[in-house]
Amino acid sequence: MSDLTKMTLKAAVDGLKAKQFSSAELTDAFIGAIETANPALNAYVELTFDKARQQAAASDAKLARGEGGALEGAPLGIKDLYCTEGVRTTACSGILANFVPTYESTVTANLWRDGAVMLGKLNMDEFAMGSSNETSYWGAVTNPWKSRGSNAALTPGGSSGGSASAVAADLCLAATASDTGGSIRQPAAFTGTVGIKPTYGRCSRYGMVAFASSLDQAGPITKTVEDSALMLQSMCSHDAKDSTSLDVPVPDFSSFLGQSLKGLRVGIPDEYRLDGIPAEIDALWEQGIAWLKDAGAEIVRISLPHTKYALPCYYIIAPAEASSNLARYDGMRFGHRTDKAQSLTDVYELSRSEGFGKEVKRRIMIGTYVLSAGFYDAYYVKALKVRRRIAEDFTNAWNSCDVILTPATPSAAFQLGDAQKAADPVAMYLNDVFTVTTNLAGLPGMSVPAGLDSSGLPLGLQVIGKALDEGSVLKAGYALEKAAGFTARPDRWW
Amino acid sequence: MAIDVATVKKVASLSRLRESDERLEALAGELNGILGWIEQLNEVDVANAEPMTTAVETGTPLRDDVISDGDKVRDVTANAPKSVDGFFIVPKVVE
């Protein structure tokens, strides 16, 4: 029975359709796995087992009649950033600790339309601000992977740390996640899972708790590239409730898997060779280049000259948008309200200061500062112009290549409670050095597990594509996955 | 330009956040570190660069000017810290 949890999403969906097992059996297997693992991993912050069993029963009835959607009966985990009707949604912030949405996000509504089953809500950094899942109001998530010969608890990355940990530990078939600067791809790389952020606007942001609206984008974390195509197919849609949602046809993502790479030009950006990056990551990158070449792709050297400015640019734009978005938490209409106030200003200031965590407050203040009179042009407008330069780098690169291959992260998973990263916010921010450029440019990016480092921890490679060309990203990602033959799994210590 | 504690205090107040004096001092150091790192953007030539506000350029979609939603008073106040009969109860504003 426990083996059911080890299946891929694709195998599970096919098995359900072939009536090899029922959704009720599959769901119960995951419930058992979560009950065993969650006290150790803290991946789920809200369990919805009753709802899961009801959805599973409904799916089994449909499947028995030979009906059902593309994900019928498949148990998933949902990042706590997606509003789920009647199920507490906190974005892992104290200010939303008791928030129960009366509506459903479009992305999750699409998943339920296609028959998916919800096991619960997954842990994340508070408001998705973090790269180690340590800023969560509900406590850090632990990575199921451990360094060889060490018992130290490692981060699963962030902000989608709960999603990555749950998928890697077989606590759901697949999970929703979201990516503002790397929050899908970095945790996927740290846990040996696949994470894809589609083109900005592919998925509706309706019902996703907002962090930085011009950068936030939904996407899945899955066990395989094939599974990510399946999840993405369901998650993407045009939505009138999100004015930035793209009114374009969604292609059949699975159709790109296994296509020949002949004629595909793969760009290798010089500027991604950074000082101080472990030699193992450079070696894996070289290996990835060789794999794609063997598969028929043409390798092209490219230049993305403004790469080094992407992170500082991001740390103006994202906090600026966050300070504006998070102004809605005022203790009046929803969210935490202080009981210590003497004046109206007290209500605002104390409710917010009690409700928000340290990193969120820091980013609100950076955002407020760069938007304040006298600094708006010097910081905010400047960053918007640099963002244009970064996007132009990619536009120029597409003259000579079709996709870009880079490392996913500058390191493997690091220890929870890393003192240097806790003391220096910039050291933590550097986690997103390879991923943040695609958020600024709005491009699709995917992290694929490609190997293990010398201490046995997974490392990922990233494929970046042109806007709306997730197809080529999936095609190249699938080829990498096949060539890497990554089958390593974390030992079950929980 | 270095940020002093008084500036941090002002930014906190603009942000509607109240921080202890101890924390304000620490924040001054942290914000200086972050903004110092951000200063490298000054190296970039942004002459004639149009500020980029959105990742994907599309026109603003317009919808029909009709009522398509409503009658959700219960939903709207469901998560209010305090509410009575479909009204938000807020602290006294005018003395």
**Contact assessment for residue A227 and residue A259, using Cβ atoms and an 8 Å cutoff:** no
Asked if the Cβ–Cβ distance from A332 to B81 is below 8 Å, we say yes
Contacts of A348 in chain B (CB under 8 A): 16
Segment A289-314, tens digit of pLDDT: 999 999 999 999 999 999 999 999 99
In percent, how much of chain B has pLDDT > 70?
Answer: 98
Segment A315-372, tens digit of pLDDT: 999 999 999 999 999 999 999 999 999 999 999 999 999 999 999 999 999 999 999 9
- Mean pLDDT score across all residues of chain B: 92
Which of helix, strand or coil describes residue A406?
A: strand
Asked if the Cβ–Cβ distance from B88 to A214 is below 8 Å, we say no
- Mean pLDDT score across all residues of chain A: 97
Span A24-52, average pLDDT: 98
Asked if the Cβ–Cβ distance from A332 to B90 is below 8 Å, we say yes
Sequence-ordered strand ranges (E) for A190-263? 194-197, 217-222
**Contact assessment for residue A219 and residue A203, using Cβ atoms and an 8 Å cutoff:** yes
Chain B residue nearest residue A305, CA to CA: B44
In percent, how much of chain A has pLDDT > 70?
Answer: 100
Cβ partners under 8 Å of residue B48, min gap 6: none
**Quick one: which of A8, A144, A164 has its CA closest to A74?**
A8
Span B25-40, average pLDDT: 95
Full 3-state SS string of A267-309: EEEHHHCCCCCCHHHHHHHHHHHHHHHHCCCEEEEECCCCHHH
Which of helix, strand or coil describes residue A441?
A: helix
On whether any CB of chain B is under 8 Å from the CB of A102, the answer is: yes
Contacts of B37 in chain A (CB under 8 A): 312, 315, 426
The pLDDT value recorded for residue A88 is 98
CA distance A122 to A397: 37
From the candidates A79, A146, A197, A223, which is the catalytic residue?
A79
From the candidates A183, A234, A323, A411, which is the catalytic residue?
A183
Is A159 a known active-site residue? yes
The pLDDT value recorded for residue B60 is 84
From the candidates A93, A132, A159, A447, which is the catalytic residue?
A159
**Contact assessment for residue A459 and residue A452, using Cβ atoms and an 8 Å cutoff:** yes
Span A48-52, average pLDDT: 98
Asked if the Cβ–Cβ distance from A383 to B41 is below 8 Å, we say yes
Both tokens of residue A250? 């969604």
Q: How many CA atoms lie within 13 A of A80 on its CB side?
A: 36
Contacts of A364 in chain B (CB under 8 A): 15, 17
Which of helix, strand or coil describes residue A241?
A: coil
Asked if the Cβ–Cβ distance from B31 to A350 is below 8 Å, we say no
Both tokens of residue A32? 């058992």
On whether any CB of chain A is under 8 Å from the CB of B41, the answer is: yes
Query: What angle do the packed helices B21-38 and B5-14 form, to 10 degrees?
Result: 90
On whether any CB of chain B is under 8 Å from the CB of A389, the answer is: yes
CA distance A126 to A336: 15
The pLDDT value recorded for residue A1 is 45
Span A247-253, average pLDDT: 96
Determine the distance in angstroms separating the CA of A479 from the nearest CA of chain B, rounded to an integer.
28
Determine the distance in angstroms separating the CA of B55 from the nearest CA of chain A, rounded to an integer.
5
Span A212-216, average pLDDT: 97
Q: How far does Cα B80 stand from its chain's mean position? A: 20
Segment A380-398, tens digit of pLDDT: 999 999 999 999 999 999 9
On whether any CB of chain A is under 8 Å from the CB of B75, the answer is: yes
Q: Is residue A2 scored above 80 in pLDDT?
A: no
Segment B42-65, tens digit of pLDDT: 999 999 999 998 887 788 888 899
On whether any CB of chain A is under 8 Å from the CB of B69, the answer is: no
Letter string b/e over residues A239-267, b meaning 16 or more CB atoms within 10 A of that residue's CB: beebebbbeeebeebbebbeeebeebbbb
Asked if the Cβ–Cβ distance from B91 to A344 is below 8 Å, we say yes
The pLDDT value recorded for residue B1 is 57
On whether any CB of chain B is under 8 Å from the CB of A348, the answer is: yes
Count residue pairs from A and B with Cβ separation < 8 A: 160
pTM above 0.95, yes or no: yes
Residue whose token pair is 């916010």: A425
Q: Is residue A189 scored above 50 in pLDDT?
A: yes
Higher pLDDT, A182 or B93: A182
Segment A154-170, tens digit of pLDDT: 999 999 999 999 999 99
Is A183 a known active-site residue? yes
Asked if the Cβ–Cβ distance from B79 to A334 is below 8 Å, we say yes
Span A216-222, average pLDDT: 98
Contacts of A369 in chain B (CB under 8 A): 3, 11, 31, 35
**Contact assessment for residue A488 and residue A452, using Cβ atoms and an 8 Å cutoff:** yes
How many C-beta neighbours within 10 Å does residue A483 have? 17
The pLDDT value recorded for residue A276 is 86
Candidates B8, B23, B41, partner chain A, best to mutate (most A CBs within 10 A) = B41
Which of helix, strand or coil describes residue A43?
A: coil
On whether any CB of chain A is under 8 Å from the CB of B4, the answer is: no
Q: What is the CA radius of gyration of chain B?
A: 23
Span A242-259, average pLDDT: 96
On whether any CB of chain A is under 8 Å from the CB of B26, the answer is: no
On whether any CB of chain A is under 8 Å from the CB of B8, the answer is: yes
A24: confidence class by pLDDT, cuts 50, 70, 90: very high
